[in-house]
């Protein structure tokens, strides 16, 4: 159950980032979770420059 909470926290943090920035696309892959923390191993973010 702790792993699920860690992944949910990551989703919330990514959502907050998206709300504060003009994100067009976001790819977070892979996601690693050790049961306490979840982290993206690689991210590709495309921002709207307009």
pLDDT tens digits, 1-50 = 799 999 999 999 999 999 999 999 999 999 999 989 999 999 999 999 98
Determine if residue 41 is left, alpha or beta; phi over 0 gives left, psi from -120 to 50 gives alpha, anything else beta. Answer: alpha
pLDDT of residue 31: 97
pLDDT at 19: 97
Q: What is the pLDDT of residue 50?
A: 84
The confidence score (pLDDT) of residue 1 equals: 78
Give me the pLDDT at residue 14, please.
98
What does the alpha-carbon distance between residue 19 and residue 2 come to, in Å, rounded to a whole number? 26
């Amino acid at each position: 159950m702790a792993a699920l909470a860690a992944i949910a926290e990551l989703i919330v943090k990514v959502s907050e980032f998206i709300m504060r920035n003009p994100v067009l696309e976001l790819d977070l892959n892979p996601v690693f979770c050790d049961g306490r923390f979840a982290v993206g191993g690689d991210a590709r973010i495309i921002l709207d420059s307009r």
